[in-house]
Amino acid sequence: MTQRFLLWHTQRGMLRRPMSTTETTDTVTFTPRIKLTLFRGTLPATDSLQLSDDQIDFKMLQSYGVSVANIRVAGLTPMRLKNMGCESALELRAIGFDALDLVSPSFCASAVSAFGAAELKQAFLLSPGDAVCIAGSTAQHQLDMSSKALVAATAGFPTHAQSVIQQLQPRGASLFGCDGRAILDTGLRAKQLTALGYHVSALREQTGASADEVSKLGF
Q: Give the C-alpha distances (Å, rounded to integers) separating 163 from 80, 132, 152, 170, 173.
A: 33, 6, 13, 14, 15
DSSP annotation of 17 reads: P
Write down the pLDDT at residue 29. Answer: 84
Q: What pTM did the predictor assign?
A: 0.83
Task: For residue range 62-73, list pLDDT tens digits in order.
Answer: 999 999 999 999
pLDDT of residue 218: 96
What pLDDT is recorded for position 110?
98
Provide the pLDDT for residue 20. 35
Average pLDDT for the chain: 90
Average pLDDT of the residues in 54-79: 96
**Cα angle, residue 168 at apex, residues 163 and 104 outer, rounded to 5°:** 90
Return the pLDDT at 28: 67
What is the C-alpha separation between 203 and 219, in angstroms, rounded?
10
pLDDT band of 42, cuts 50, 70, 90: very high
Residue 27, pLDDT score: 57
Mean pLDDT of 103-109: 98
Q: Give the model confidence (pLDDT) of 18-31 as tens digits.
A: 333 334 445 568 99
